[in-house]
Structure 1
Amino acid sequence: MRKIFLLAGALLATVAVKAQDRNHAYKFEQMGTLLPTPNVYRTASGAPGHMYWQQQVDYVIDVELDESIHRINGKEKITYTNNSPDQLTYLWVQLDQNMRAEDSDTYKTETGSMEDKMTKRSLTPILGYGFDGGHKIQSVTDASGKAMKYVINKTMMRVDLEKPIKSGEKFEFNISWYYNINDRLLMGGRGGYETFPEDGNTLYTITQWFPRLAVYSDSDGWQHKQFLGRGEFALPFGNYLVRITVPSDHIVASTGELQNAEEVLTAKQRELFEKAKTATRPVIIVTQKEAEQKEKTKAKDKKTWIYKADNVRDFAFGSSRKYIWDAMGVKIGDRTVMAMSYYPKEANPLYETYSTEAVAHTLRVYSKHTIDYPYPVAISVEASNGMEYPMICFNYGRPEKDGTYSEAIKYGMISVIIHEVGHNFFPMIVNSDERQWTWMDEGLNSFMQFLAEQEWDKNYPSRRGPAANMVSYMKSSKDTQEPIMTNSEQIIQFGNNAYGKPATALNILRETVMGRELFDYAFKEYARRWAFKHPNPADLFRTMEDASGVDLDWFWKGWFYTTENVDISIDDMKWYVFDSKNPEVENPRMAKEKADAKRHVSQTINEKTAPKSAVESRAELRDFYNSYNEFEVTAESKAAYKKYLESLDAEEKAMLNSGYNFYELSFSNKGGLVMPVILNFTFKDGSKEMVRIPAEVWRMNEKEFTKVFPFKKEVVSVELDPQRETADVDTENNYWPRQMLPSRFELYKYERRPSSNPMQKKK
């Protein structure tokens, strides 16, 4: 209903703010002690401090793949540089393969239950794999060959030093080891082997394969939290020289640059590799026909492939005689990076068509938003899984045997390649602690993956990034949710918590809270500041604010430290117009409103059916009040109106005649997360207007507020969050007047489910 209000001359300077109790839940108070105290190593601005340091660990490794028994044999020389101001009396080394030891805590802490029907695959983890897994340490010696004392604590090994490593000193020691490679399809895991029964050949993905130094940092000391299988890796940077010995008919895909191409590649392969550097489409270096020919025989002799990689935090490789290999040069800044793919014939035609193109696309998009990709190569290996390492990643995406594939497989393959190649930036370059903060690599990378997907195809069916895709998780049971700032081993809904929610949060920051210009600059600054360093969450939070000039403490607190959700409700809307005081305008309006208010149904019916009333029939029953009109326009009322106008100044008269309608909207915060309020007003003439209100509108009262909106047009409806950009979990209270939103159901009779592979069906 429209309400009339009076413009009082010189008294109404502004719309009065309704007095209310302070209603705070500490959403807008600064983060304060939630963040670590700035120091000379990490500044309050989020940048590395003037005394920032990090350790360096260099490796020279000789490794041999024994295909006959699926075993890795290795020895390594490790050079540890102590750049810290501290004296170190021992070193911690990660033995990640020990999670596969028969007595590992990974197996001991697995939970499960019995079902009425159990498969071999579901029973095997309960009965045990019967697999002799884990790193078998054969020796630990110093540079002179003298045995060193060491203690293995599950997936960690402490190497005790005869004398401390002082600040600025280097220390060299050696480890010799072997381990049995796991059947990845049976036991799962990031690395392992897959044997193809059709041809009896094996594809190896060799990861977490060598004893690796743990991170020692200014903020946490040694990061030696045990590896249970989910929390990934915290690793220092260093230089690698790795000699990989494999059967001579294998192709090796690896971190780093190949140093001895003349010894392991044919002249034709080297020629094609050079051609690929300037090609606009991937060049096939090892063809499917060549790979199929090698599948028919197994070489007995061996070759050693030598790879070198500088300033990387890890090293991985794949090896198989089944590999097809293609490559293409990509211009990144003033450098040419080799985008490459290795895949078995079972992955064609998908990988030949899309893999290297997706690698190149990822490098371009990520470099635009962060820093130029600094490494010489970027590799995608099809291995029926998804995992990332510097310069190389292992992905999935196999079509049917007839070469057809579903849309889900196609986009799933492209997405996993983008995601895993993207991990080169987070955390392989911006080197966060994955063991503690999974979201700092998976969440940031999932956000960047969304940007790359949308630049691949404007209609790309992105799974994570759009706010609406997060609603079902945000409104799910709090019993299965944890704040984003939770260690990875404790998370129940791991994908939603560590990947989806932080990716959504960053996209909301970019599109809704900060805007693209401010966000993109600040995010790029974070990547620039922390490239080849070890950032913590506070460094990201502080940099985003420092480089943008936007106070985001309320956002970090709500999205990253709580499990609250977004549910803003429009509770009421009232319509006000000016009381003009003009009796010729206002008196007829008031007369009609009074008559309408008194009118009842009996009057309406009587006017049509009843005979004349007594008063209507007999004049003697009528008196003064039967003809009196309290809303008559009189000389006195006209004079009063003239006097009222004279009391107003020119601006007030203009305001009075402006034709404004004032709409008072009341909002409540039912979900807990404070967010910007985005409103779409629809007017009587069919036009619309979008109004955006910053989240600070909640700063005085985090539960509710009322705000007035002036328009010259009449509003017929208003919608909250019309583009679904805030992850609001209840859209039914986003409308005024309320709208009944339909829930759809289907009438059907049971039929066999159609194929999800239309390409195959058509073929």
Structure 2
Amino acid sequence: MKIKISALALSLSVTLFAQNIQNNPGSNHGNKFEQLGTILPTPNYYRAASGAPGQGYWQNQADYDISAYLDEENRNLRGSQTVTYTNNSPDNLDYIWLQLDENQQSTVKNANYQFSSTIPKTTTTEKLNVSNLPEKDNHYGVNLTKVTDAAGKNLNYVVNKTMMRIDLPKVLKKGEKFTFKIDWNYNIPNRIAMGGRGGYEFFPEDGNDLYTITQWFPRLCVYSDHQGWQNHQFTGRGEFALVFGNYKVNINVPADHVVGATGEGKNFDKVLTSAQYSRYQQAKTAKEPIEIVTLEEAKKAEKSKSKERKTWIFEAKDVRDFAWTSSRKFVWDGMNVNIPENNNNVMAMSLYGKEAYGLYRKYSTKAVAHTIKTYSEFTIPYPYPVAQSVEAANGMEYPMICFNYGRTEKDGTYSEATKNGMIGVIIHEVGHNFFPMIINSDERQWSWMDEGLNTFVQFLTESKWDNKFPSRRGPADKIVDYMKLPKDQLEPIMSNSENIAQFGPNAYAKPATGLNILRETIMGRDLFDQAFKTYAKRWAFRHPEPADFFRTMEDASGEDLDWFWRGWFFGTDPVDIALSKVTTAKPQLDAQPKSKEITYKIDPPAEDDFNDISKTRERDAKTKFAVDQDKDLQDFYYRYARGQEKLDQNKNYTTNESDFEALSKEDKNRLKNLTAYQLDFENKGGLVMPIILEFTFEDGSKLTDNIPAQIWRHNEQKVSKTYYFDKVLKSVQLDPLKQTADIDTSNNFWSASGSALNLDNKFEVFKQKQAAIRGASNGRLNPMQAAGKKN
């Protein structure tokens, strides 16, 4: 019998899900060891009480045929895509939702989840500008030029910030397909300057760009049994819920670019030189990385800048996303790795510029191979034909391709922290192929199901790479400082990513540590590993929810773990918002930055000499560690950690450090009339609402601002908002049109004439020095430099 769950019941289950409901809150017993009960949604026909997919489990599919054109001269990407959407659900669909993630980079199309802000003690010219009300368009974000059905007939659609709804010409019933076409374009952002996951990085020394093209095309949202459409806005933090499908992608780029992408290249024989294609064929069976595009070829290409074009063709099956990279700077190497569990021969590959050659050539592809082999042991056999790492000064993951950091100093040396950080981030990002690219959880709702589970297996993989590897997350002692924080700085793991203050410890470290405690101390390795593999097998290429994980771990192990989930993983007010205070300040434009003389000692080896239980058991099991077997992985830091390289740990070194520069005459002139106004608000009633403001200036002009209610998400009682105006503010009216049902409007107005305006308040303004690329030197010697060694 099919079980129908009403929309109200589903809404209640989601609402209750993250609450730690107490059964006997007035007593000192009957709470911590009670079953989770109504905290978890009720099992049903689609999701069984065991944690497995139910008899009626279904999921929809989206197949893509995309053509993309990279305009390097204008740093613009345009594309045309045909999408075939299959409705496998029992529901009739009137519309479909897609994600327009690139709108997050737009000043006028983004989700507009703002943060509380105060007048800074120190800021930079890049951050200090007159507050634009309304915000000016920076011309980033997706431009839609055509949305039609397969026959070319225009479709009705609505764009709501980072989401897009297409209204179907007729109801899409179970088992039916709908094919539609979208043409689009967008300006590619400077990823280093603007942040974000996709964009370009410019290398001034050779005048070239390195493109990471991610979240780049309109992508179908997930429609599921447990919440309908997952159409939450993309704010830049909570990542993605996506639909599996098959992809064919044509990528047109300058002829001297090298392209890496999700899936298999289908025309390498056409886009590579004969020598490069021959080396690619050799790499498919090689046991050591072979340079497909050599360092010399990459350096030569940096100077050529061809005006010709080439089209690279890639195909990928059963993936939830597609990403790619393109640059003439790339060295490209690869090797074969066999996954014995399914006898899958995978091409492990890396792409990187000359700036990363000293580290990536030695470690990256071998770390890729090690990762997919180890994850395959703990989860499911790696099913895809390709796994690749791209050096792009950041860390982010997509099916079969990920972007990581790891560059040497200009003299070829590197710090131990850079080396270990690079290896760790490659393992982490390649590991994301499993969580959530295959075991496809909803990252936008539950970050820990993506980051936490992946960080846990990352720790296991690092442990098998090198018994002395200094893992930051996983061992129980590493989470202690976070757990000591005051309660107002903590959220349950079962929290949406947008509302977390300590995101790294909460979404990555705490769940990873909890799982390691379960494995090593509570359940034991055998029970835990079998249950964890069961979860991975059950939900591979499906859409699991937290309850599916919790229930499977108990179902497959015979252990009652509700007390652990409750403790480790999981509180009717009116509107009365008061404008309680306005603080003013003028910028101090003549402030001189101070440099600090730093005395430091050379860092000791990064690995922890403490023999924790995991390291001890690995040695007892006579594990063959990668760095001990492969002499090519043994460098200066390998010897340093084992006492074979000696440095004077007591010797003092000095360096001068400063993050700022004094303002130029032009900056001072631009900012001389600026005044900062910090508005402090109190939520006296308890119910959060938008803050709607009307500003009146001495010259009679007016401006308005509507701050979304999300500004209260990190502090529900008090928030502040700072504005910078180059004209004198006369008054501020809160909720001028009485739109929020505020029960007390007597505290909704501020007038300069009725306030003691203190313009003697100052805040210093400096120009920000160019920040170093992640992993680069901060001016201090690394141990390799102090020892006069380069390897």
Q: For the residues of structure 2 that align with 1:69 and 1:204, how far apart are their CA atoms?
A: 13
| 1:292 partnered with 2:299 | yes
Q: Secondary structure of 2:123's match?
A: coil
Verify the 8 A CA contact 2:344 2:382 in the aligned structure 1: no
Q: 1:761: Cα distance to partner?
A: 2.4
Residue 330 of structure 2 is aligned with which of 316, 319, 323? 323
Q: For the residues of structure 2 that align with 1:27 and 1:758, how far apart are their CA atoms?
A: 49
Q: For the residues of structure 2 that align with 1:107 and 1:40, how far apart are their CA atoms?
A: 38
1:151–1:166 Cα change, 3 Å = same
Q: Secondary structure of 2:304's match?
A: coil
Q: For the residues of structure 2 that align with 1:476 and 1:125, how far apart are their CA atoms?
A: 37
| 1:213 partnered with 2:115 | no
**What pairs with 1:82-481 in structure 2 (closer than 5 Å)?**
82-106=87-111, 109-123=114-128, 131-333=138-340, 334-481=343-490
Verify the 8 A CA contact 2:108 2:137 in the aligned structure 1: no
| 1:542 partnered with 2:551 | yes
Verify the 8 A CA contact 1:121 1:186 in the aligned structure 2: no
Q: What residue identity is the alignment partner of 1:311?
A: D
Q: For the residues of structure 1 that align with 2:500 and 2:400, how far apart are their CA atoms?
A: 29
Q: 1:106: Cα distance to partner?
A: 4.8
Q: Give the structure 2 partner of residue 604 of structure 1.
A: none
Q: For the residues of structure 2 that align with 1:430 and 1:36, how far apart are their CA atoms?
A: 20
Q: For the residues of structure 2 that align with 1:84 and 1:314, how far apart are their CA atoms?
A: 21
Verify the 8 A CA contact 1:380 1:394 in the aligned structure 2: yes
Q: What residue identity is the alignment partner of 1:263?
A: K
**What pairs with 1:481-520 in structure 2 (closer than 5 Å)?**
481-520=490-529
Q: 1:240: Cα distance to partner?
A: 0.2
Q: 1:281: Cα distance to partner?
A: 1.0
| 1:759 partnered with 2:778 | no
Q: Secondary structure of 1:280's match?
A: coil
Give RMSD over aligned pairs: 2.0
Q: What residue identity is the alignment partner of 2:207?
A: G
Q: Secondary structure of 2:158's match?
A: strand
Q: Secondary structure of 1:752's match?
A: strand
Q: What residue identity is the alignment partner of 1:275?
A: Q
1:751–1:303 Cα change, 3 Å = closer
Q: 1:301: Cα distance to partner?
A: 1.0
1:472–1:142 Cα change, 3 Å = same
Identity level (%): 62
Residue 53 of structure 1 is aligned with which of 52, 58, 61? 58
Verify the 8 A CA contact 2:111 2:233 in the aligned structure 1: no
Q: For the residues of structure 2 that align with 1:497 and 1:525, how far apart are their CA atoms?
A: 25
Q: Secondary structure of 1:341's match?
A: strand
1:350–1:497 Cα change, 3 Å = same
Q: Secondary structure of 1:337's match?
A: strand
Q: Give the structure 2 partner of residue 42 of structure 1.
A: 47
Q: Deviations over 1:15-44 (max 9, x none)?
A: xxxxxx984151111111111111111000
Q: Secondary structure of 2:178's match?
A: strand
Q: What residue identity is the alignment partner of 1:147?
A: N
Verify the 8 A CA contact 1:264 1:305 in the aligned structure 2: yes
Q: For the residues of structure 1 that align with 2:97 and 2:507, how far apart are their CA atoms?
A: 27
Q: For the residues of structure 2 that align with 1:455 and 1:115, how far apart are their CA atoms?
A: 46
Q: Secondary structure of 1:59's match?
A: strand
1:533–1:332 Cα change, 3 Å = same
Verify the 8 A CA contact 1:138 1:177 in the aligned structure 2: yes
Q: For the residues of structure 2 that align with 1:36 and 1:213, how far apart are their CA atoms?
A: 26
Residue segments in structure 1 that go unaligned for 5+ positions in a row: 1-20, 563-721, 726-747
Q: Give the structure 1 partner of residue 662 of structure 2.
A: none
Q: Deviations over 1:28-80 (max 9, x none)?
A: 11111111111111000000011100000000000000000111100100000
Q: Deviations over 1:55-113 (max 9, x none)?
A: 00000000000000111100100000000000000000110111112224555614433
Q: Deviations over 1:347-368 (max 9, x none)?
A: 1200000000000000110000
Residue 79 of structure 1 is aligned with which of 73, 80, 84? 84
Q: For the residues of structure 1 that align with 2:89 and 2:564, how far apart are their CA atoms?
A: 34
Q: Give the structure 2 partner of residue 570 of structure 1.
A: none
Q: What residue identity is the alignment partner of 2:290?
A: V
Greater CA deviation, 430-439 or 91-100? 91-100
Q: Secondary structure of 2:83's match?
A: strand
1:543–1:381 Cα change, 3 Å = same
Q: What residue identity is the alignment partner of 2:224?
A: S
1:88–1:354 Cα change, 3 Å = same
Q: For the residues of structure 1 that align with 2:651 and 2:423, how far apart are their CA atoms?
A: 36
Q: For the residues of structure 2 that align with 1:104 and 1:463, how far apart are their CA atoms?
A: 37
1:526–1:131 Cα change, 3 Å = same
Verify the 8 A CA contact 2:374 2:461 in the aligned structure 1: yes
Q: Secondary structure of 2:654's match?
A: coil
Q: Give the structure 2 partner of residue 18 of structure 1.
A: none
Q: For the residues of structure 1 that align with 2:612 and 2:324, how far apart are their CA atoms?
A: 45
1:308–1:749 Cα change, 3 Å = closer
Verify the 8 A CA contact 2:103 2:110 in the aligned structure 1: no
Q: For the residues of structure 2 that align with 1:125 and 1:404, how far apart are their CA atoms?
A: 43
Q: Give the structure 1 partner of residue 564 of structure 2.
A: 555
Q: For the residues of structure 2 that align with 1:130 and 1:195, how far apart are their CA atoms?
A: 23
Q: What residue identity is the alignment partner of 2:782?
A: N
Verify the 8 A CA contact 2:321 2:398 in the aligned structure 1: yes
Q: Secondary structure of 2:514's match?
A: helix
Verify the 8 A CA contact 1:755 1:761 in the aligned structure 2: no
1:124–1:486 Cα change, 3 Å = farther
Q: Given the two structures, how large is their TM-score scaled by the length of structure 2?
A: 0.69
Q: Give the structure 2 partner of residue 679 of structure 1.
A: none
Q: What residue identity is the alignment partner of 2:784?
A: M
Q: For the residues of structure 2 that align with 1:125 and 1:548, how far apart are their CA atoms?
A: 60
**What pairs with 1:607-626 in structure 2 (closer than 5 Å)?**
none
Q: Given the two structures, how large is their TM-score scaled by the length of structure 1?
A: 0.72
Q: Secondary structure of 1:28's match?
A: coil
Q: 1:275: Cα distance to partner?
A: 1.2
